Structure 1
């Protein structure tokens, strides 16, 4: 097989009585696909939970600094020096340079992703400016000059290493509207997950009991409410651009392998979920397939264009049939490994446990040749 260019990760996870991802009306997100409406979990929701979870496979345990996404980083994280007027001017000027002309209204700012190395750099510069400036105008001009001469600062740091913007930016990309040269291309592409069958939901009616009035002999009802609950077997899909990932990680292929090994564990076991306190939406993947190959990736979502039943064996059979058809048409060019709690088989793939599957994916990336 040629050197692997992409890793593709497909998985099936089942959830009962949950509300994993809500829309602006508080209802489950949905997606029309094939001839049925499906329940959906957005890619943003999935990535958010993979980034922020704190367990043995957390991204923050890998080594590189993480990042902070906020509209208020200058006010909350960047240290300052000087008089009160100088500090206020430095904060205001840095906010304008980072967030654009509308920085004065925090609610209108972009929630900018800044790496911890970038924040440390800006802290040092803010303190330096505060100590040198004797009045607010001088501080404001010093901040403007700093960003003008340093190519926007973020772009200058970006040229040193993508990791200056934090591990999240190296994996999932970053867009900076005020400094486009600081943008980072995502090395990991995440699709929206959706149910392999038609949506299954119901309205849950519930009451809140007032303990004191109830004890006094009254009805004790303090409120009547309803919420939506859904259940389903979800298909998810992730693509890792291996050369770009390794490049974003300072050409450290071994580090890239470690990132991917952690990612496989996170995809398999980390649950996105609104209303956790009332639904306990925790579940592990029932099937996960990892493919390593050099040709352009392709989703296997079309295996479920015609809805199937919410049974893992039925869904895996549909997936395997679809893979066979794709292989017959385009040829088999990928090396495959998969896990299945039902010990189901997939066309052209070897069944392994999760630790071996994660190690396989990590070894593929770690073996990537890097620039001399």
Structure 2
């Protein structure tokens, strides 16, 4: 039996009369695959809902060892400089901000908020910056002294300095989904969790929903008819989703904590299966759980099973499972890569693979993390 390096997670999710992920025109996102237009959910949309599901029993925020992070263009303004205001002179505080903005956001940071990258920083990094700002502000006699002190201090400082003595400098979000910092490539964090765009296994099913709103306070002599008339698009779909966890990469990003990596994997499988993306919650209730989740553990380069649906099939779960089963057997015959597999399936199953509950599947996947750590 090989030591697992990768966990591959395949899902089939159903949604009805929803608008899960919109483009810049307000319509459902799409892609053309195999000559057929499909409805799409971007990987960014999926990841955001998984990482912000704070009230879910398996929320990442509930894990012991969770480290928070924040994504913004205003991290320095809100988390480093704002706490100093009212405690030190306005002139001293104003003298500190440009240097700290440049340290975090790069040379163009002083051109204003719009010139900055929307950056992800972990709570340990923000605490370190805030502590340094406090030290300088408390020892500066005036704005000139503060400006000189921060300019001298900043010369040899970078993201590496912020990361010292902490296992999760960028927080758990960065440890899972990575981080890119254009102002300091050394601060980049490689993502061990790779997420594909989900798409419908069938052609796009959509219609324009014409709706009205009536003014409850309208008097009888007012103009008749609706007060508001609008249209929005709604779609239905059976989506194929795919994600990969690089187990050594995950363990390394978590400071070598294999127990935390195992618990993160357990929770992440629940989030992938149970947390729905989607806007317009009040008018569409876009909640669905995975009809199928297939997890594979192996040491060879991952491969998606998206080609099961290169040719669009009918919107039918049993046919989608059949197509997935067929392509899996074809890959096995051609490559014989020997992955171990488990599945959770609400209806039917893929032949020859042990079937169980989501909790059992997540427990099995979490065990593979420890196998990888102990290899």
Shorter-chain TM-score: what band? over 0.9
Equivalent pairs counted in the alignment come to: 368
What stretches of structure 2 of length at least 5 have no aligned partner? Answer: none
Q: Give the drift of 1:332.
A: 4.4
Structure 2 partner of 1:346: 350
Show the counterpart of 1:250.
255
* Deviation readout 1:67-125 (Å, 9 max, x if unpaired): 10011112212232521111122123211221123323112311110101111111111
What are the equivalent positions in structure 2 for 1:99-114 lying under 5 Å apart? 99-104=105-110, 105-114=112-121
- Asked if structure 1 preserves the Cα contact closer than 8 Å seen for 2:291 and 2:345, the reply is yes
- Which segments of structure 1 move beyond 4 Å, counting only runs of 4 or more? 159-162, 214-218
Q: 1:265 touches 1:358 (CA, 8 Å); kept in 2?
A: yes
User: Normalising by structure 2, what TM-score?
Assistant: 0.94
Change (3 A) 1:198 1:144: farther
Which one of 327, 330, 340 corresponds to residue 332 of structure 2? 327
The alpha carbon displacement at 1:136 in A equals 2.4
Q: Deviations over 1:12-53 (max 9, x none)?
A: 000001110011111111111112011110000001011111
Correspondence 1:199-210 to 2 at 5 A? 199-210=204-215
Tell me what 1:52 maps to.
52
Equivalent residue number for residue 219 of structure 1: 224
RMSD: 1.6
Corresponding residue for residue 274 of structure 1: 279
The answer to whether the aligner puts 1:367 opposite 2:371 as a matched pair is: yes
Contact 2:12 2:238 in 1 (8 A): yes
* Residue 41 (structure 2) pairs with residue 41 (structure 1): yes
- CA distance in structure 2 between the partners assigned to 1:364 and 1:216 by the alignment: 71
Aligned residue number for residue 359 of structure 2: 355
**Who is 1:66 aligned against?**
68
Deviation at 1:279, TM superposition (A): 0.8
Correspondence 1:122 to 2:129: yes
Q: 1:252 and 1:89, CA in 2 relative to 1: closer, same or farther beyond 3 A?
A: same
Deviations 1:116-156 (A, max 9, x none): 11111111111101111222233234334333323x1x222
Alignment TM-score, normalising by the size of structure 1: 0.95
Q: Quick one: structure 1 residues 218 and 367, their matched pair in 2 at CA, closer, same or farther if it must change by over 3 Å?
A: same
1:215–1:281 CA distance, 2 compared to 1 (3 A): farther
8 A contact 2:51–2:60 mirrored in 1: yes
Q: Which runs of 5+ in 1 are unaligned?
A: none
Aligned-pair CA distance for 1:179? 1.6
Paired position in structure 2 for 1:299: 304
CA apart distance, 1:321: 0.5
Aligned-partner Cα distance in 2 for 1:281–1:314: 23
